[in-house]
């Protein structure tokens, strides 16, 4: 029998109003049993989509000019509302994703934490990028005009929910939080794999919009067919940027649509990454069982359904490497499969593993056991040689889930050649000791051109939300290598600079007024002047 949830309505939330769709319907599913979950969600059509985008356009002027204190309090209010609904949100997310409670509690905290982090960013105001070059009327041979610059929001933003993070990369996740912090209204396209979770969080945002007295078009949550409504959303002239986390095929389709518009817009898409991990000789002289256990934990955590899962590992040939692989086999043997997010994702993982294992020169190193539920396949680690890896593009493809490929290399030159052949990645990891620094120095410049984050003696899974984090990388890891989707720098994606030349003080926006009413740090004539100091 379908599982009931009396508090959910199954409708889109368009500018604060529950809006039944005019199209088809979908349900969530419990991936541990493939049981249908209630309620049934009605899908909107394109005319209803235009209601959401029109409302976002109407909301833009007032929302984009909020003072910092009101704006920051709104972001804090979203976090407060989500926390108040936390138990219900986590319970529903467990049903829709099969993820354990501890993982989802942590994700809930990350979601509210990054909202509050962006609240602090808004209060401080450095993202406004204020630069002032005062007039120099006496300069010769030509006087200099008064020129002032600030960054302004792009406009309404479309955000697509991710399958693997029902909270932190979903309705109130990093893309939504950073867009709202920039002053951009958001039209959020819910992922159909966790519609109830999206509705609960969408309600919290809607309530926070109302609490703050903002235009209701600041946020809309829509349910619709992924291809048609998603493409229509990106095509809509009101939308000025897109945030997306998902597959390469879906991301590139959105990029194509955005580029073909009469007014092309940026798509910030996080897509595929296999996150290479490189072991140097010195790193294999210590506790191999501990190192192998940490590797398997990183591969299998959340059933491997993390964009930073280490799907590719480079290990030197020779006795130390052989001993490490033996330790990997021991570590993986007792591991059981964990429930994957959907039956479709589990089927795709099985197909990917079958394709990898059937390649010439690839052998199975170790495999765990199937888990207790219908969509919990046994995790697997495969092995091959560097020459095979270099010449077979199939071995470079992401398998979304608990699978990894170990590549054996015999020389620094072979390792560098393999690194040069990599596609763009989110991360690269170096396991090394001081004795390996010389070798690593030769690989590091290659990795800098290939990845967004390089780490040493750790594991790429687990992404800190802070000011210095980069969660991005060259294509196909992301569609724009100059940005990040995690951390405070993510706000820059939804801003653009505007210069004001000889504009009278009475007409200047608050951020660039001489009086500095918002108490912003500013760069005046090239020198940073802290908030509170006179020009």
Per-residue confidence of the chain (535 residues) as pLDDT tens digits?
A: 334 455 899 999 999 999 999 989 999 999 999 999 999 999 999 999 999 999 999 999 999 999 999 999 999 999 999 999 999 999 999 999 999 999 999 999 999 999 999 999 999 999 999 999 999 999 999 999 999 999 999 999 999 999 999 999 999 999 999 999 999 999 999 999 999 999 999 999 999 999 999 999 999 999 998 789 999 999 999 999 999 999 999 999 999 999 999 999 999 999 999 999 999 999 999 999 999 999 999 999 999 999 999 999 999 999 999 999 999 999 999 999 999 999 999 999 999 999 999 999 999 999 999 999 989 999 999 999 999 999 999 999 999 999 999 999 999 999 999 999 999 999 999 999 999 999 999 999 999 999 999 999 999 998 999 999 999 999 999 999 999 999 999 999 999 999 999 999 999 999 999 999 999 999 999 999 999 776 5
Specify the DSSP class assigned to residue 409: E
CA atoms of 166 and 100, how far apart (whole Å): 12
CB neighbour list of residue 402: distance below 8 Å, 6 or more residues apart: 299, 300, 303, 304, 309, 337, 338, 349, 368, 377, 379, 380
CATH superfamily, with its number, for domain 45-139+146-271+485-492: Aldehyde Dehydrogenase; Chain A, domain 1 (3.40.605.10)
Domain with CATH 3.40.309.10 in the chain: 276-456
Query: 307, 398, 414, 423: which one is catalytic?
Result: 307
429 forms beta bridges with 277, 455
Cis peptide before 39 (omega within 30 of 0): yes
CB neighbour list of residue 81: distance below 8 Å, 6 or more residues apart: 204, 205, 207, 208, 211
Q: What CATH number labels 276-456?
A: 3.40.309.10
Let me know if 270 is a catalytic residue.
Answer: yes
Global confidence as pTM: 0.95
Rounded to the nearest 5°, which phi and psi values hold at 414?
Answer: -65, -40
Number of residues that this document lists for the chain: 535
Cα–Cα–Cα angle for 2, 10, 188, nearest 5°?
Answer: 130
Query: 57, 107, 199, 270: which one is catalytic?
Result: 270
CB neighbour list of residue 95: distance below 8 Å, 6 or more residues apart: 3, 28, 30, 37, 196
Residue 57, both tokens: 């356009």
Q: What share of the chain is helix, strand, coil (3-state, %, to 5)?
A: 40, 20, 35
CB neighbour list of residue 339: distance below 8 Å, 6 or more residues apart: 31, 32, 98, 99, 303, 371, 373, 375, 376
The H-or-E segment that residue 454 falls in is strand 451-456
């Amino acid at each position: 029998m379908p599982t009931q949830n009396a508090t959910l309505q199954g409708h889109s939330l368009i500018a604060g109003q529950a809006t039944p769709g005019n199209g088809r319907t979908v349900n969530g599913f419990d991936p541990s049993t493939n049981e249908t979950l209630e309620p049934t969600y009605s899908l909107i059509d394109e005319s209803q989509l235009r209601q959401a985008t029109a409302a976002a356009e109407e909301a833009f002027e007032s929302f984009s000019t909020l003072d910092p204190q009101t704006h920051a309090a709104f972001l804090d209010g979203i976090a407060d509302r989500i926390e108040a609904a936390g138990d219900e949100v986590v319970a529903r997310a467990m049903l829709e994703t099969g993820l354990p409670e501890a993982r989802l509690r942590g994700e809930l905290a990350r979601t509210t934490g990054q909202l509050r982090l962006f609240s602090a960013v808004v209060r401080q105001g450095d993202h406004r990028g204020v630069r002032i070059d005062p007039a120099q009327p006496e300069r010769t041979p030509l006087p200099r005009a008064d020129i002032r610059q600030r960054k302004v929001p792009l406009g309404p933003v479309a955000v697509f929910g991710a399958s693997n993070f029902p909270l932190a990369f979903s309705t109130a996740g990093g893309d939504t939080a950073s867009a709202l912090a920039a002053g951009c209204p958001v039209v959020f396209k819910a992922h159909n794999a966790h519609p109830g979770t999206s509705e609960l969080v969408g309600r919290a945002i809607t309530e926070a919009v109302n609490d703050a007295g903002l235009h209701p078009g600041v946020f809309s949550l829509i349910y619709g067919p992924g291809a048609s409504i998603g493409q229509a959303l990106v095509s809509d002239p009101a939308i000025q940027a897109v945030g997306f986390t998902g597959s390469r095929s879906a991301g590139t389709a959105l990029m194509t649509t955005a580029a073909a518009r009469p007014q092309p817009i940026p798509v910030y898409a996080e897509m595929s990454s296999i996150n290479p991990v490189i072991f140097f000789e010195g790193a294999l002289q210590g506790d191999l069982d501990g190192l192998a256990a940490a590797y398997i934990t990183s591969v299998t955590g959340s059933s491997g359904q993390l964009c930073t899962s280490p799907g590719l590992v480079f290990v030197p040939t020779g006795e130390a490497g052989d001993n490490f692989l033996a330790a990997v086999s021991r570590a993986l043997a007792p591991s059981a499969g964990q429930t994957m997010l959907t039956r479709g994702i589990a089927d795709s993982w099985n197909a990917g593993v079958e394709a990898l294992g059937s390649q010439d020169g690839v052998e199975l190193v170790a495999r765990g056991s199937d888990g207790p539920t219908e969509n919990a396949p046994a995790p697997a680690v495969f092995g091959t040689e560097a020459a095979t890896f270099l010449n077979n593009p199939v071995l470079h493809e992401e398998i979304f889930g608990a699978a990894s490929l170990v590549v054996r290399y015999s020389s620094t030159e072979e390792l560098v050649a393999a690194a040069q052949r990599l596609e763009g990645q989110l991360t690269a990891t170096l396991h090394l000791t001081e004795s390996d620094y010389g070798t690593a120095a030769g690989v590091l410049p290659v990795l800098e051109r290939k990845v967004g984050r390089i780490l040493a003696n750790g594991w790429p899974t687990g992404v800190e939300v802070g000011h210095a984090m980069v969660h991005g990388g060259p294509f196909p890891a992301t569609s724009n290598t100059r940005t990040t989707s995690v951390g405070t720098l993510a706000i820059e994606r939804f801003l653009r600079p505007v210069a004001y030349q000889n504009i009278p003080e009475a007409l200047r926006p608050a951020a660039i007024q001489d009086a500095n009413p918002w108490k912003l740090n500013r760069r005046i004539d090239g020198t940073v002047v802290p908030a509170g100091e006179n020009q």
